[in-house]
Amino acid sequence: MRSPETTSWHCASWQAKPAQQQPVYDDPIALQRVVAELSRLPPIVVSWEVEALRERLAAAQRGQAFLLQGGDCAETFGDCESDTIVKKLKILLQMSLVLLHGLKKPIIRVGRMAGQYAKPRSVDTETRDGVTLPSFRGDLVNHPEFTAAARAADPDLLLRGYERAALTLNFARALVDGGFADLHHPEYWDLGFIKHAELKDAYQRIIQSIGDALDFFEGISGSAVHEATQVDFYASHEGLHLLYEQAQTRFIPRQNRWYNLSTHMPWIGMRTAKLEGAHVEYFRGIANPIGVKVGTAMDAAWLQGLVTTLNPQNQPGRLTLIHRFGAKDIATALPKAIEAVRETGQTVLWICDPMHGNTETSTGGLKTRRFENILKELDTAFRLHAQMGSYLGGVHIELTGDDVTECTGGARGLTDADLQRAYRSTVDPRLNHEQALELAMLIAERSQSRRYG
Ligand code: PEP
Ligand code: CO
């Protein structure tokens, strides 16, 4: 049954509303041709998987599971190569193992990948030496080089993005389904990179302990623990480019609902979450579990409007609020947000993005984030949710499986000066593999010591 609110909805109804952050294309006919082609191409995911994820998120909402959502700020088409995909999958699997061990709950793994190709920008243009060109909006839209040709929005990139997303997810899923993610064989995920001795030892102890637990249960039950050891993997990206999302949105008669089948779990970014805007209009009509980024600028009325508009039926698992207040503001902003949502009488899944409120400029002029601030925001989030009788059901992290130097701090104590060495992000700074694993360990340790209540 569809609610009365969504009966006037269709996958292009957002076009009647103001749409922020959309590129301007010079050739509308070429754009329409591409959108028509994308609408005919097969979906990247299917509605059964989307429904399965929603049910798992509903469990997280009840405090019975924990969501690990992570990946690059912006994927590039160049990232669509086996080594990069394997490394990203490995770090997510390692983190999830550590979290499983520490939190003693099933971990839902959702990559920020296979479609994270479009970026919101704070300004539409960029000026260098008196020349003004459109901003780079991600590989789905244009190219980063500073020339007029590179910065022109190219509709064909929508097709290239769809293909790369499909190739990436196909490979990730084949690895997972083929046994790569089996908890009996965490050695498959060894990145060979964890050089920091203490981190390595701590990780080995966790692997050993999970191995012992599996042996124990399989010993007494006489059969393999399949349920717990078979790992699912889901994809997510910011649903920013609405024509791209619309083209992959299909009405599924069997479910009697519309689904965005470009990914399992799209989210609305901070800059496009206006109640009257096109993104909220588009998202309210799709049946996927969806996320919304929540920042300090969102007051109670705005947040309540989002909750009731996006989930009028209060369906469990439907709405994930991804708060990203920053270590500095979370203590004042989060209690108000929890209270505001509580007043609606609705339940949501709360997760914390400790990255986007903690971005700063390093002494060398590079965008960075301090590990200590990331950890502090997470600590505060766990503590405040517990104090208020709420539940922090997941984390949303920008990370990479590579050995980059983009965020400072962590066990290795990276400084501003180290950032020059391997700074590769074209957008936001990501945790490198060691920092990401360390963060998972610290969350796990702190939960075990009941520091989070
Ligand atoms: C992002 O997730 O990369 C992003 C732009 O975040 P936000 O919308 O929270 O600013
Ligand atoms: Co980002």
d(CA 446, CA 452): 7
Taking the domains of the chain in order of start, what are their residue ranges?
4-448
d(CA 67, CA 444): 13
Question: Confidence band (pLDDT; 50, 70, 90) for 4?
Answer: very low
Q: What is the CATH number of domain 4-448?
A: 3.20.20.70
Give the tens place of pLDDT for each residue, 250-267.
Answer: 999 999 999 999 999 999
Name which of 195-209, 384-398, 408-422 the model is least confident about: 195-209
Mean pLDDT confidence for 172-185: 82
Distance 397 CA to ligand 1 centre (A): 11
Residues within a 6 A CB radius of ligand 1: 73, 120, 238, 269-271, 293, 324, 356, 428
Nearest alpha-carbon partner for 278 in 240, 308, 316, 334: 240
120 against 181, higher pLDDT: 120
The share of the chain scoring above pLDDT 70, in percent, equals 96
Question: Confidence band (pLDDT; 50, 70, 90) for 197?
Answer: confident
The share of the chain scoring above pLDDT 90, in percent, equals 79
**Which ligand 1 atom is at minimum distance from the Cα of 295?**
9
Number of neighbours of residue 388 by Cβ within 10 angstroms: 13
**68 close to 99: Cβ distance less than 8 angstroms:** yes
Residues in Cβ contact with 249 at an 8 Å cutoff, skipping those fewer than 6 apart: 11, 258, 259, 260, 261, 286
Task: Indicate if the pLDDT at residue 196 is higher than 70.
Answer: yes
Return the pLDDT at 226: 59
Return the pLDDT at 209: 82
Distance 339 CA to ligand 1 centre (A): 23
Return the pLDDT at 231: 66
Give the tens place of pLDDT for each residue, 389-405.
Answer: 999 999 999 999 988 99
Q: Name the residue of 20, 116, 238, 323 whose CB sits within 8 Å of the most ligand 1 atoms, as the mutation to test its pocket.
A: 238
Task: Indicate if the pLDDT at residue 227 is higher than 60.
Answer: no
The enclosing H or E element of 133 equals: strand 131-134
Return the pLDDT at 230: 56
Q: For the whole model, what pTM was predicted? A: 0.94
Task: Indicate if the pLDDT at residue 10 is higher than 60.
Answer: yes
Mean pLDDT confidence for 76-97: 93
Distance 75 CA to ligand 2 centre (A): 10
Name which of 51-55, 204-208, 263-267, 417-421 the model is least confident about: 204-208
Residues in Cβ contact with 301 at an 8 Å cutoff, skipping those fewer than 6 apart: none
Distance 278 CA to ligand 2 centre (A): 21
Distance 198 CA to ligand 1 centre (A): 32
Q: Which residue has the tokens 């984030």?
A: 369
Task: Indicate if the pLDDT at residue 139 is higher than 90.
Answer: yes
Return the pLDDT at 268: 99
Q: What are the CA-CA distances from residue 116 to residues 80, 252, 403, 425 (Å)?
A: 12, 24, 20, 14
**Which ligand 1 atom is at minimum distance from the Cα of 120?**
5
Burial of residue 71 (CB within 10 Å: 0-12, 13-18, 19+) is: buried
Task: Indicate if the pLDDT at residue 3 is higher than 60.
Answer: no
Give the tens place of pLDDT for each residue, 281-322.
Answer: 999 999 999 999 999 999 999 999 999 999 999 999 999 999
Name which of 204-208, 376-380, 424-428, 431-435 the model is least confident about: 204-208
Give the tens place of pLDDT for each residue, 319-340.
Answer: 999 999 999 999 999 999 999 9
**Which ligand 1 atom is at minimum distance from the Cα of 322?**
9
**135 close to 196: Cβ distance less than 8 angstroms:** no
Return the pLDDT at 222: 76
Nearest alpha-carbon partner for 181 in 189, 171, 193, 170: 189
Return the pLDDT at 193: 62
Q: Name the residue of 356, 425, 428, 430 whose CB sits within 8 Å of the most ligand 1 atoms, as the mutation to test its pocket.
A: 356
Return the pLDDT at 2: 45
Name which of 52-56, 143-147, 210-214 the model is least confident about: 210-214
Residues in Cβ contact with 282 at an 8 Å cutoff, skipping those fewer than 6 apart: 11, 13, 14, 239, 242, 245, 246
Return the pLDDT at 141: 98
Question: Confidence band (pLDDT; 50, 70, 90) for 1?
Answer: very low
